[in-house]
Structure 1
């Protein structure tokens, strides 16, 4: 399969090449909400060498079978995966991260690297994500499971818009936590918090990618995104 890597969108590459999302995570490239940007555009924005990224992607292509190809799954299979792997996981992750963040902010309040406001931001993320996931679980996913594609256009547009908002929340999360890099000598709670933030970011980006670029692929992106 010939791929024009530079002109291909991040979302397309993430869909076509199993393991590509790991490469994009490594370079902090947004392949979910920003998945419509080409590799050339995304690399230029980050000041990265696109040829280095292309070599990594080509290496993945030479090692087939490095993950489930969700483009070949049925809608019901993909929805079940989204519910079990991501919806359930986010509901486990965020309450614990909020607890850890509050402890770090209280104990290390005077530390110059203290992530002030992180716990409140995570609380807001939990509230927004819970609302978003309930809309998918109660309205959109049952609609797709019944094959009501024509009726799903409106809800899909809303979900995509909210995905973009989740992407902005992740960007704020990175700013508050210094890209989830704990300071030298950070206590174990602080280290555990930032490790959990890295996992949350990767999980949420993978979650949004599977919905935007595979499950919702037949629906055009709304004009505001």
Structure 2
């Protein structure tokens, strides 16, 4: 089925990042989520083609990648992959997740199953993750691409420690959201939020794995306990 024939609510629930796209074009995916993309764009006089292309790109990004042996990639290729597939994507994901979490808390905050505190937790995660990625981008990755990876033991140890912190933050996220499982009667916004959270969690786990177990192992092998 083409994107045009699917409802805004269906697309928002299924495709991580679709909510931000709809919000930017003033397409109401929550209260008017039963309208098809075709009907919604026609009512506002919007050309649907750019939206279809953007939705396709978002869905392709959310589709599991074919297994690739990154251990055989060069240092430069692996770092480019990390920057494009994870660093840039996390910076897109988190602002929209924070916005959706605040909306859910504002509307449903009196419910016992509402993830109160989630928006603040995501905001703290965003700040810490951005700081972490900047350290890699400004210090560690240039060291590696300039052939000085053998001198990077201390930066790598610091990044591994921060990865442990990210793991703790993901466990807190899991606790706040009952395992990122929405209530059976959750609204479209709530479901879209949790779709995005699952995508972010899976991306961050794979991001950390690629750095810890592939890139960093080339220069500072972890001690086996």
TM-score, L = length of structure 2? 0.69
Cα distance, 1:150 vs structure 2: 2.5
Identify the residue that residue 122 of structure 1 maps to in structure 2.
Answer: 122
Distance in 2, matches of 1:70 and 1:126, equals: 26
Q: Deviations over 1:85-126 (max 9, x none)?
A: 000000000000000000000000111110010000000000
Q: Map residues 96-111 of structure 1 onto 2, 5 A cutoff.
A: 96-111=96-111
Cα distance, 1:66 vs structure 2: 4.5
Identify the residue that residue 72 of structure 2 maps to in structure 1.
Answer: 72
Q: Map residues 95-174 of structure 1 onto 2, 5 A cutoff.
A: 95-174=95-174
TM-score, L = length of structure 1? 0.69
Greater C-alpha radius of gyration: 2
Would you tell me which structure has more helix in proportion to its own residues?
2
Identify the residue that residue 194 of structure 1 maps to in structure 2.
Answer: 194
Identify the residue that residue 220 of structure 1 maps to in structure 2.
Answer: 221
Distance in 1, matches of 2:187 and 2:66, equals: 36
Distance in 1, matches of 2:139 and 2:121, equals: 27
Identify the residue that residue 32 of structure 2 maps to in structure 1.
Answer: none
Cα distance, 1:222 vs structure 2: 6.8
Q: How many residues align?
A: 160
8 Å CA contact 1:79, 1:141 repeated in 2? yes
- CA RMSD in angstroms comes to 1.6
Identify the residue that residue 4 of structure 2 maps to in structure 1.
Answer: none
Cα distance, 1:221 vs structure 2: 2.9
Q: Deviations over 1:139-174 (max 9, x none)?
A: 000000011023211000000000000000000000
